[in-house]
Structure 1
Amino acid sequence: MSDSPLRPSSLINTVYGAFLRRLGGWISIADLITLMGELDVDGPAVRSAISRLKKRGVLEPERRGATGYRLSPAAHPVFDEGDRRIFASLEPADLADGWAMAVFSVPESERSHRYQLRTRLTWLGFGNIAPGVWLAPGRLLDDARAMLERLGLGDYVHLFAAAEYAAFSDLPDTVSSWWDFPAIQTQYAAFTDAYAPVAAHLAAGPDPDPAQAFRHYVPLLTQWRRLPYLDPGLPSELLPADWNAVAARQVFQQLHSVLLEPSLRHVRDVTGLAAPA
């Protein structure tokens, strides 16, 4: 695991996103406390994190013979978008696919929306190429449109699909000023340092039992799912020669393929939940 502690709310988000969505989207608070205890998160911390997630509209209370929480309807598209980014965008974009461009202008009286736009576009992987002008690989266009619609920010933004960069500078040199490559590589290095030894250990031994897989997988996915949002997934032609995302992706893919299914079995065993018919 990473040396920096992972927040209980982030771990709970991972449990819901990776497992509970497959099992109906609900869990009793008692079972959630049991699962989180295996990740060294105590009951009071779980309840505090649940309270924050409820205030943010991620979870809703629901009693099904026991007190529990389910994913709110509004949270489902956010998790679906996360799946596309975390799992479907592991490979770099193709330069031939073009670009998505967002241009916005927000009145000073509504500058909170300007901050929200900057934050959300950055989180999606857009780079800032000029005041109010943001760029990302073309495959992020649909996610950008969905995000703007969901947050009610579409009135401030014009989205464009651009085919190619035409002039006047060397594009690989230029994009390095639009995205913070050193910061992204630092995060990838931290992930690889933390989990490459885990991958090597598991590869050398028998398959992990379900409980052990769960204890590895939830922190792994919690740390990993930040990275595809920091990394826009630029075409390989535009990346530094020493770009270290490739090694990190290989570690993640190896562990994901080994740990996901036994982790899901463990959650089913603890909760008694089954996938909806």
Structure 2
Amino acid sequence: MKPRSLMYTLYGEYIQYYGGEIWVGSLIQIMNKFGVSESSVRGAIFRMVQKNLMQVRKIGNKSYYSVSEQGKRKVDEGVKRVYTTQSQTWDGMWRVLTYSFPEEKRELRNEIRNELNWTGFGVISNSTWVSPNPLEEQVLEMIETYQIEDNIFLFSAASIVSHDNQSIIKKGWDLDRISNEYNIFIEKYTPKFEELREKALNNTLTDDECFIERTNLVHQYRKFLFQDPGFPRDLLPPQWAGTKARELFWNIHQLISIPAVRFFESVYEPAPDKNIQAQRDKAINPFREIYM
């Protein structure tokens, strides 16, 4: 796992429910479970602080880290998309976004492209992105965060005159490829679910094993946020593989969540000046609705 991506998973799955801040020693111990060395953890933290994605507090000789407002926005959006259900019906509106950046802002333009891809937009022509999802709030927040009011325009339209809806979807997204990726996930995690369920029935699952399995599961599933735009279900093909993959994800997640959170609590150390009111129930079950 890449350290930066793993940190986002850990903050979204656990740390945010325990005050949003963690001692670097606890973070090193946790990330070592996934083969990430102490030097790699510290290097990733340093780069994330430089990019204003993380912030540090010093108390005595200890450092406590939390995500910045910019980083928190990414964590919150990722958690929301992983754990909320897809809308049944489309509202009939296309969100159309265009941008123009001068060459000296090329790096910023690339960052905005990554943001749009993460949010679920599809590119249909040079500098023109579309989505059928109600993403106005996220886009406006992105514009404010990056201070790019002069570079981006967001429109909404009930129809695109030159193309029908399925043509736009085919141009902006490769749903066949995404479906194949979901099938790979299903093939990998179906036997894993059976294995974990058998261990649970025999009472041989350990807390640290559940923590590793849950974190790996979420980390793998999060990758679909960069691929699957999360369309309303009436715009998806019949027998969409993402539906089965999501059900499998939920079943494994709930099977191992209690011992996984128990392990996290055993290694987590908050700052001594914080009276943490842990939201343990949300850490165990972050699903806002059960998607079955």
Q: Give the TM bin, normalised by the shorter chain.
A: 0.7 to 0.9
Matches within 5 A, 1:237-248: 237-241=234-238, 243-248=240-245
Q: How does 1:112-151 map to 2 (within 5 A)?
A: 112-151=107-146
Alignment of 1:84-99 (within 5 A): 84-88=80-84, 90-91=85-86, 94-96=89-91, 98-99=93-94
Q: 1:203 to 1:67 in 2, by over 3 A?
A: same
Are 1:203 and 2:197 counterparts? yes
Q: In 2 relative to 1, CA 266–232 (structure 1 residues): closer, same or farther, beyond 3 Å?
A: same
- Paired amino acid for 1:42: S
Q: Deviations over 1:17-51 (max 9, x none)?
A: 21111112222222222222222323233223223
Find out whether 1:45 has 2:40 as its counterpart.
yes
Counterpart position of 2:66: 71
**Higher mean Cα deviation, 267-276 or 211-220?**
267-276
Residues 37, 110 of structure 1: CA spacing in aligned structure 2 closer, same or farther, 3 A cutoff?
Answer: closer
Deviation at 1:159, TM superposition (A): 1.5
What is the alpha-carbon distance in structure 2 between the residues aligned to residue 46 and residue 113 of structure 1? 26
2:220 pairs with one of 223, 242, 255: 223
CA contact (8 A) 2:28 2:41 kept: yes
The residue aligned with 2:76 is 80
Percent identity for Structure 1 against Structure 2: 28
- The TM-score, its normalising length taken from structure 2, stands at 0.80
1:184 aligns with 2:181: no
Structure 1 residue 183, shift from structure 2 partner:
3.3
CA deviation map 1:185-220 (0-9, x unaligned)? 343233223322222222334264322210101111
| 1:65/1:94 CA distance change after superposition, 3 Å | farther
SS at match of 1:17: helix
Unaligned runs of 5+ in 2: 279-292
Which residue number corresponds to residue 3 of structure 1? none
User: How many aligned positions are there?
Assistant: 270
- CA-CA distance at 1:126 after TM superposition: 0.7
Cα pair 2:22 2:269 within 8 Å, conserved: no
- Flag structure 1 segments of 5+ consecutive residues without an equivalent: 1-5
The alignment's C-alpha RMSD in Å is 2.6
**For residues 60 and 260 of structure 1, what CA distance do their matches in structure 2 show?**
28
Report whether the alignment pairs 1:14 with 2:9. yes
User: 1:59-114 CA distances to partner (integer Å, 9 max, x unpaired)?
Assistant: 233234552331143222332222222222x4256222533221223345544444
The 1-side partners of 2:104 and 2:39 are apart by: 41
User: Is the contact made by 1:217 and 1:263 (CA closer than 8 Å) also made in structure 2?
Assistant: yes
Provide the rounded CA distance (Å) in 2 between the counterparts of 1:49 and 1:36: 12
Task: Give the whole-Å Cα distance in 2 for the aligned partners of 1:30 and 1:117.
Answer: 33
2:155 to 157, 160, 164: 160
Per the normalisation by structure 1, the TM-score is 0.84
Aligned residue in 1 for 2:53: 58
Contact 1:92/1:235 (8 A) holds in 2: yes
Deviation readout 1:136-156 (Å, 9 max, x if unpaired): 123222112212221222321
2:124 counterpart SS class: strand
Instruction: State how far apart, in whole Å, the 2-side matches of 1:14 and 1:224 are.
Output: 10
Deviates more, 1:165-174 or 1:79-88: 165-174
Mapped to 2, the partners of 1:33 and 1:11 lie a distance apart of 12
